[in-house]
Amino acid sequence: MFLERWKRRNAQLAYEWDVDNFEHNEPDRPQFYGLKVKKDPVTQEPNWFYPFKRQILKFTVSVSTLLFMMMIVLVSVVGVIVYRLVTTLEYCPGKSAIQCLITSTLLSAVLNAVSILLLGKLYEILAFKLTEWENHRTQTLYDDALVTKMFAFQFVNSYASCFYIAFFRGRFDVFGYTDECVGDSGTCMSQLSFQVLILMIIRPFPRIAKDLIIPLIRKLWRSRPNWCCRINACPCDCCNKINRISTEEAKDVFEANKRLLSNFLERERLKHPLGDFTLNEYTEKVIQYGFLMLFAASFPLAPLMAILLNLIDIRIDAKRMLWSNRRPIAYIRQDIGKWFGILNFVNTVGVITNGFLIGFTSTWASSFDLSSKLWIVLGFEHIVFVLKFLIAYLIPDVPRDVQLSIRREKYQVAKILEDAKYSEAINYGELVPKHKKKRKHRSSNYDTFVQLDESVGKPKEDLKDTAIPEENVFKETEPAPQEKSDFNRSSSEESVKEQWYVVKRDISTPKVAR
């Protein structure tokens, strides 16, 4: 239902903003460079292209780097598992249950979350460099490649420990130790719920510290001379320097600072840029969505916790975008790109994961044999998939009003083109306003139509009140020829008789220097 509703909303926004065909005519990225000139198959014009073999080689290097980082994630998960086993078997005997819980379960979950954050930050830097190195032609291709790399790594980095607890813990030996689950009749549902809880709480904390706490500390640090001098706690000589400033200098400094702060553009320029806000927010929300979908059967309170965390996150992001950081620049996109396919993938994997959680990990299915558990999994996922595809088929991807608007627009464009095809030739003379052409009666004595002011030597701008001698008036009695275009030569309109007032210029009057 969530994805179907988003598809309808996406179609509506794309039509309203006229970006439903943006990717077909998307311009090249400024960073793109070509090595060969070929004829474009669409425009038949020479264009720069990047060799396909070189791009395949770069893609291979990027995939190899991604697989290597995934192996590092698995190694870190195994290290956390070994730590928990050693702590449980070597430290917990003779200790209380609370001490054993803190040192084994709680601390191992925190270590796993810290390793997830550190490895995720390291791979984020590598993903940006690799995607830029791949030399994608358009911004959409660049974003899709970057999103695919980021999610593929974050999927393994965020969910590897949860998948281990759900399906592998207690079923295999690790370095001679059996990592069994305690409680819940030998199942690991409670440990899985605790792991999902820790990851959902700890993951937002670094970003909250970076977006809220660190800017607050910077603000307090910049204003430290004001409050530390009041309590005489400044370790430096800043208070004495402030006291030695004269009144006039302090006034000038105050006025300069006031003018600087009153300039909105200058304040915006001095703010820290927001960075790639969309990529970070989408990655965080999709990973959170994955915790809800993949492990909903083990932790039913995860949606409620996600709502509470998102309410806090909305206010933090609003403060960042409006006050703390520089306003971001909006870019044109046709849709959310690869993120929709990733959400669909998470939904599909979530159905399978919850089916196996119900059939193999839950206490309810522990009394069934292997064959019965498989039938439970198959029956569950088939029922859910049938409902999923049925809902997707019944709900149209494009709203009805948008479909009608698109049909109406296509009909109007086709009708205009059809009418223009069979209509008469356009009279381009009607596209400009008509002006009556005045026939100039030129001679050696009548070479200008402006009466000069003999006293000043400059032309008068207004000749309404000028007395013109009668001998200098030329009356035209014959009709002036009217030019006709090719489209109105058959017109029988008579020319309008007009009178012209021509002022004779005195030859003895000197010309005005211009």
CB-based contact 406:15 (threshold 8 Å): yes
Closest CA to 194 of 108, 84, 299, 306: 299
Instruction: Give me the long-range contacts of 458-465 (CB less than 8 A, separation at least 24).
Output: 458/512, 459/512
What span, in angstroms and rounded, lies between the C-alpha atoms of 511 and 38?
65
Closest CA to 181 of 192, 171, 170: 170
Length of the chain: 514
What span, in angstroms and rounded, lies between the C-alpha atoms of 357 and 363?
10
pLDDT tens series, the chain, 514 aa: 999 999 999 999 999 998 988 988 888 899 998 888 888 887 788 888 898 899 999 999 999 999 999 999 889 888 888 888 888 777 777 777 777 777 777 888 888 888 888 888 898 899 999 999 999 999 999 999 999 999 999 899 889 888 988 888 877 776 666 677 765 555 678 888 888 888 888 888 777 777 777 777 877 776 665 555 555 555 554 554 444 445 556 566 666 666 666 677 777 777 888 877 888 889 989 999 999 999 988 888 889 999 998 998 898 888 888 888 888 888 888 999 899 999 999 999 999 999 999 888 888 877 888 888 899 999 999 999 999 999 999 999 999 999 999 999 989 988 888 887 766 655 666 656 665 555 544 444 444 444 444 444 444 444 445 454 554 444 444 444 444 444 444 444 444 444 444 444 444 444 444 4
Q: How far is CA 127 from CA 102, 120, 148, 157, in A?
A: 36, 10, 10, 14
pLDDT for residue 207: 77
pLDDT for residue 307: 92
Residue with tokens 């059939």: 359
SS3 113: helix
pLDDT for residue 278: 87
pLDDT for residue 206: 77
State how far Cα 35 lies from the chain centre.
30
Torsion angles phi and psi, residue 38, rounded to 5:
-130, 165
What span, in angstroms and rounded, lies between the C-alpha atoms of 509 and 514?
15
CB-based contact 22:333 (threshold 8 Å): yes
State the SS3 of 25-93: HCCCCCCCCCCEEEECCCCCCEEEECCHHHHHHHHHHHHHHHHHHHHHHHHHHHHHHHHHHHHHHHHCC
Q: What DSSP designation does 164 have?
A: I
CA torsion 226-230-234-239 (nearest 10°) is 70
In the chain, the N- to C-terminal Cα span, in Å, equals 79
pLDDT for residue 182: 63
Structure tokens at 460: 């008068």
What span, in angstroms and rounded, lies between the C-alpha atoms of 217 and 213?
6
CB-based contact 292:303 (threshold 8 Å): yes
CB-based contact 482:495 (threshold 8 Å): yes
pLDDT for residue 183: 58
Q: How far is CA 216 from CA 230, 270, 315, 320, in A?
A: 20, 16, 15, 11
